[in-house]
Amino acid sequence: MIFKYARGKIMNYPNGQRNNVQQQPSKQGYSNRGMTLEEDINTTNTFYLDTDKAIIHKKPTPIQIVNVHYPKRSAAVITEGYFKQASTTDYNGIYKCRYIDFEAKETKNKTRFPMSNMHEHQIKHMKSIIKHGGISFLIIRFTVYNETYYLPAESLFSFWDYQFDNGRKSIPYDTIKSEGYLIPFHYQARVNYLAVIDKLYF
Amino acid sequence: MIFKYARGKIMNYPNGQRNNVQQQPSKQGYSNRGMTLEEDINTTNTFYLDTDKAIIHKKPTPIQIVNVHYPKRSAAVITEGYFKQASTTDYNGIYKCRYIDFEAKETKNKTRFPMSNMHEHQIKHMKSIIKHGGISFLIIRFTVYNETYYLPAESLFSFWDYQFDNGRKSIPYDTIKSEGYLIPFHYQARVNYLAVIDKLYF
């Protein structure tokens, strides 16, 4: 897990010397050992940023701050806060002049992606993004298969809307395999979703 | 200050009836009585969103979470957290297919905008946005004059870079008046910055 924190972090070594943490972890460090989808996407976005390919960030988790303590001579401390539900998606930014906006979810399910992973207001937000000319999609990882898919927002919408007619509250794995795009693994861009965007839009 | 919280909020009236808070506050409610620039921009963005003109949000403040308590049968409570410096700008989104990214600052200064209001990494971020084809700018309010300006990122950069040669660590008010654009006040879009974008880009 060294890679996630590796970028420019300074730490003390046992011999007392301060060194930059190794920027290139050993090859096995790249195998998928307990890395969450979020960690992989953050790593990918950092690589895109460092190579000036795209500017895409994860939005901070919104926190409802209730109490803050201001100690003398040190930083303000939040002593009571609550997690709020995000009103939009988790990631946005710019790539080749286009506005990019997406959500990422992983599931342990083997046969389907349960729609309960998504919220009504996120779908509404994504529909709005498409309408205004942005590129929106969902990244879904099936952890059991270690497969990560790019599902265009348009496919997601049809399943989302369909559930109210039909009652099916999930997207079958096979459908995601056929309507979605397997996201290629790249040595530094572990979830190389821009490769799919290139194929679909450029 | 009713306007800020007015959108769809339900509250108890003295007669015990539940009503939506009046959506149209009295005219004097719109005068600038202690509304911060951030509140005005949030109100403006809500109006843009409600009228489907643009999708622009303030990013949540990043919080470093140190301790979380999980009480039985209630929501997780953050019991220790710290404010982190944002690595980008405060606002981003999409308007007429274009990626929008900006920062907003107010100053009590009468003659200049001190550069200490901006951070190196924000400038770097904004330069990158321009390079990738986005629209980036700074909204500056001079609270003393109650004037709010749109300063294109390109003007900001020249002043930012200039300070290292010249030592001037601020942008004169008169320069902002000439290189920037006074942002018109609109009844519901209190800081109607899209009007300036329309003039400059569309």
β-pair type (A170-172, B181-182)? unpaired
Asked if B98 has any chain A CB less than 8 Å from its own CB, the reply is yes
Confidence of residue A33 (pLDDT cuts 50, 70, 90): low
Average pLDDT across chain B, whole number: 85
Confidence of residue B87 (pLDDT cuts 50, 70, 90): confident
Q: Is the pLDDT of residue B48 over 60?
A: yes
Higher confidence at residue A41 or residue A14?
A41
Is A55–B97 a contact, with Cβ atoms under 8 angstroms apart?
A: no
Q: What does the block give as tokens for B137?
A: 């700018």
Shortest Cα–Cα distance, A80 to chain B (Å): 5
**Which of A53, A55, A85 is best to mutate for the B interface (most B CBs within 10 A)?**
A55
Q: What is the pLDDT of residues A73-103, one digit of tens each?
A: 889 999 999 999 888 999 999 999 999 999 9
Q: Is the pLDDT of residue A169 over 60?
A: yes
B60, B87, B132: residue with CB nearest A61: B60
- pTM assigned to the model: 0.82
Distance of CA B140 to the CA centre of its chain: 9
| Pairwise CA distance, residues B42 & B45, whole Å | 5
Instruction: Supply the pLDDT for residue A35.
Output: 87
Shortest Cα–Cα distance, B126 to chain A (Å): 10
Q: What is the pLDDT of residues A9-31, one digit of tens each?
A: 333 333 333 333 333 343 444 44
Report chain B residues whose CB lies below 8 A from the CB of A133.
94, 96-97
Q: Reduce the secondary structure of A22-87 to three states and give it as a string.
A: CCCCCHHHHCCCCCCHHHHHHHHHHHHHHCCCCEEEECCCCEEEEEEECCCCCCCEEEEEEECCCC
Is B81–A83 a contact, with Cβ atoms under 8 angstroms apart?
A: no
Asked if A74 has any chain B CB less than 8 Å from its own CB, the reply is no
Q: Is the pLDDT of residue A188 over 60?
A: yes
Q: Is the pLDDT of residue A121 over 70?
A: yes
ipTM: 0.82
Instruction: Supply the pLDDT for residue B34.
Output: 62
Q: Are B140 and B151 in contact (CB under 8 A)?
A: yes
Shortest Cα–Cα distance, A35 to chain B (Å): 20
3-state secondary structure of B174: helix
Identify the helix (H) or strand (E) that includes residue B113.
strand B112-114
Is B132–A95 a contact, with Cβ atoms under 8 angstroms apart?
A: yes
Q: What is the pLDDT of residues B12-44, one digit of tens each?
A: 333 333 333 333 343 444 455 568 999 999 999
Q: What does the block give as tokens for A169?
A: 């509250």
Asked if A133 has any chain B CB less than 8 Å from its own CB, the reply is yes
Q: Decide yes or no: CATH 3.40.1350.10 for domain B34-59+87-201.
A: yes
Domain-wise residue ranges, chain A: 1-31, 32-60+87-201
Asked if B87 has any chain A CB less than 8 Å from its own CB, the reply is yes
Instruction: Supply the pLDDT for residue A122.
Output: 95
Is A62–B60 a contact, with Cβ atoms under 8 angstroms apart?
A: yes
Is B94–A129 a contact, with Cβ atoms under 8 angstroms apart?
A: yes
| Pairwise CA distance, residues A83 & A85, whole Å | 7
β-pair type (A63-69, A10-12)? unpaired
Domain A32-60+87-201: which CATH number of 3.10.110.10, 1.10.579.10, 3.40.50.2300, 3.40.1350.10:
3.40.1350.10
Is A134–B81 a contact, with Cβ atoms under 8 angstroms apart?
A: no
Report chain A residues whose CB lies below 8 A from the CB of B87.
57
